[in-house]
Structure formats: C-alpha cells, structure tokens
Amino acid sequence: MTAELVRLAVQSGIATITLDSPANRNALSAPLRAQLSDALDRSAGNGSVRVVVLDHTGPVFCAGMDLTEPPDAVRELPGILERICTHPKPVVARLAGHARAGGIGLVAAADIAVAVDRATFAFTEVRLGVVPAVISVTVLPRLLPHSAHELLLTGETFDATRAAAIGLLNSAVPADQLDAEVDRYTGMLIKGAPEALTLTKQLLHASTTWDFTTMLELSLSRFQSAEAQEGIRAFTEKRPPSW
C-alpha cells in the first residue's frame, strides 16, 4: 500500500495541501508527485474551495527532485508547476522551513508565498551539473534579473529576508507569526469573488501581448456578470456579498 505523502484537508473554504514526506525532506518522489497532482486536481474541482494553502511537515518545505530516481522523472515536474500556476483558486505557499531547487519552483508557482525568516533557499542545480530549466518558467518572472543571474549561476544559499527582497517571497516573518501572516493573506483572498479571482489569475499569467481591446472586452463582460452585479449591490447596500 502506498504511503500517504500528501494530505488534503478542506475547512471554511480553505484547502490545505500538506507535503508529508519529511524522511526525504519532502523531495518530489514519484508517489509524492502523483499525490500532489491529485490533491491539486481535487481542490481545483471542489466548488467549496476558495483558497489553497500549500503546506508541509518537517524542517524542509521541499528539497526538489528525488535524486535517487531516474533522470527522466523530471518530465512530470512541468505538469505540477502548471497545475499550481493555472489553479482556478489562489494558491498560498506556507514555508516553515527551507526550499531547494525544484522546491523553489513550487514556491514561485504559487500566487503568494510566506516563509519563516530562518528559512533558506538555494538553486543547487549547477553544483550538481544540471540546469534549473523547468523551474525557470515560474522562478524568473518573480526574481529581480540581476539576482536571478547571481543565484542561479552560483548556487549560493540565501535567506528568507533576501528572498522577499528579490521577489521570491511576499513576506518573511518570525516563526511565531507565520500562521497569522498566512491567515492574513487567506482572509483577504477569500473576500474576492470566486470567478473574478479565477479570471484575474488568468490575466496575471497571460501573454504580455494582450491589447486594450481584449482587456476592454474582458472588463465589460465582468461588469455585466451576475457576480459583479451582486458585488456592486452589496457595496452600495453596505453589506457583505453573497460569496
């Protein structure tokens, strides 16, 4: 029987997906990859879920690919990163520990990432003779260009304070404030209208070639939607919207 390495729990509109393989530092082994993909799919299809929190057990958020597996195991990583990027609900990464290599790809794929200030990060690929090619798709849009050149080429370990300064994290906080900071973000996100959040995520990940005409059509369609009409009525009537 395959061990449960990823847990999914839903409460009050928040789906928490927990990487639970601390024995190998939550490395992306074949069973963990399969279970993580399944949890992402199930949370995406659950109409009661408004926000997803990507969490972990143990001192390491994710150490990257499981290096004991065949090299072609990396073929499954793009699908996981894409599931996070295109998830219809906002995804918040909660890091109570360190991240390395492919694990940073997961962090960068999330919409918002919060870590304890003692967490460390490193793009260790070049020191192993490999290239951070797949994760560059999620990582490079978040990082300051000069920092990306430095850190991906040197493999140097950097702390959470710098990770926040260069754009990888939204926030780095003391350990005793981590839960409150995650709650602050999820509390704000859950106030958003579900369809509007999904479309805004698509907008954020869309090609930069989108023009004003396309954006105007999207804006008009949203103003005319039932969800927007409810939001506007709630605002004018000074009451919470139905969602």
What CATH number does residue 112 fall under? Answer: 3.90.226.10
| Per-residue pLDDT tens listing for the chain (243 residues) | 779 999 999 999 999 999 999 999 999 999 999 999 999 999 999 999 999 999 999 999 999 999 999 988 999 999 999 999 999 999 999 999 999 999 999 999 999 999 999 999 999 999 999 999 999 999 999 999 999 999 999 999 999 999 999 999 999 999 999 999 999 999 999 999 999 999 999 989 876 555 667 767 877 788 788 988 888 888 889 999 999
* Residue 242 counted as domain residue: no
Cβ atoms of residues 48 and 10 within 8 Å: yes
* Residue 214 counted as domain residue: yes
- Please state the domain count of the chain: 2
**Does the reported pTM lie above 0.85?**
yes
* Residue 243 counted as domain residue: no
The closest of 156, 26, 167 to 98, measured between CA atoms, is 26
DSSP 117: T
Cβ atoms of residues 230 and 223 within 8 Å: no
Rounded to whole angstroms, the Cα distance separating 90 from 88 reads: 7
The reply to whether 110 and 176 lie within a common domain is yes
* Residue 23 counted as domain residue: yes
Catalytic residue among 4, 69, 125, 230: 125
* Residue 77 counted as domain residue: yes
* Residue 125 known to be catalytic: yes
User: Which domain, by its residues, includes 207?
Assistant: 194-236
* Residue 1 counted as domain residue: no
The reply to whether 165 and 45 lie within a common domain is yes
The reply to whether 73 and 153 lie within a common domain is yes
The reply to whether 133 and 216 lie within a common domain is no
The reply to whether 198 and 160 lie within a common domain is no
